Copies of this chain bind each other. A is one copy, B any other.
Amino acid sequence: MSGAARQASLEPPLEPFGLVRRLVAEGLGTALLLAVVIGSGIMGERLAGGNEAIALLGNTLATGAALVVLITIFGPLSGAHFNPAVTLAFLLRRELSVGAATAYVAAQLAGAVAGVFVAHAMFAEPILQVSARLRDGPAQAFSEFVATFGLLVTIFGALRFRSDVTPVAVGLYITAAYWFTASTSFANPAVTVARSLSDTFAGIAPNSAPAFIAAQLVAVPVAAALCGWLFRRP
């Protein structure tokens, strides 16, 4: 695998960037991701005249496009996890230390909440909100399990065979997952926490969040074990 290919991947970066810059990349990238998720949701809801499918089209287009960009520009710095489930998976694969993983998750959570605030400020919404949008029931939780499982298989498969296209693969996967899962695919505990702080299109009621996060975390060891076997070099 060439250096150029590695650079764009979600793998630990080749160049020895220090932990401070890596954490800034995780925090800033997650903040921009949430600004996109929440902001495009508000824009869609405001303009779509009540047709939720049209709102979701705009939300999907923006999120998928932004993920490709953010993973391309921050991947070589920090791995561009933006997601505690992804960080946990790399920890299970022993590609990240416990200390670094903990710091990553803290940066992701702080960035995610900041991104929600930025979106609210851009759309002249109250900065502090709590979502009232219930997303309950076993079908929603199963959706989050499938969404997170698919995300991790995408990441590990792309890193294994075509790490240069990892940013595109993740962006396209989420584009599909917004539509094929009943929960519109949060697939990310930091995103789930942050979206509970927005009473807009992309929000989730705090009471619905724990089941989402549990389903996401259960998917991590399952996907990690399957990928470890399926993608092992012959």
Q: Which residues of B contact A65 (CB under 8 A)?
A: 64, 172-173, 175-176
This chain's copy number in the assembly: 4
Q: Which residues of B contact A18 (CB under 8 A)?
A: 234
Question: Is the CB–CB distance between A47 and B53 below 8 Å?
Answer: yes
Chain B minimum-CB-distance residue to A175:
B65
Cβ-based interface call for A56 (8 A): yes
- Min Cβ gap A145→B in Å is 9
203-234 of chain A: CB within 8 A of chain B: 229-231, 233-234
32-57 of chain A: CB within 8 A of chain B: 32, 35-40, 42-44, 47-57
Question: Is the CB–CB distance between A36 and B176 below 8 Å?
Answer: yes
In terms of DSSP, what is the predominant structure of the interface of chain A?
helix
Contact-residue size bin, chain A (C-beta under 8 Å from the other chain): 35 or more
* A43 partner, pick from B15, B54, B179, beta carbons under 8 A: B179
Question: Is the CB–CB distance between A54 and B55 below 8 Å?
Answer: no
Question: Is the CB–CB distance between A121 and B142 below 8 Å?
Answer: yes
- Min Cβ gap A147→B in Å is 9
Known: A169-B69, A175-B62. A21 touches B230 (CB 8 A): yes
Known: A162-B7, A234-B15. A39 touches B180 (CB 8 A): yes
Question: Is the CB–CB distance between B182 and A124 below 8 Å?
Answer: yes
Q: Which residues of B contact A183 (CB under 8 A)?
A: 122
Q: Which residues of B contact A51 (CB under 8 A)?
A: 47-49, 51, 53-54
Chain B minimum-CB-distance residue to A56:
B47
Known: A53-B48, A73-B153. A59 touches B179 (CB 8 A): yes
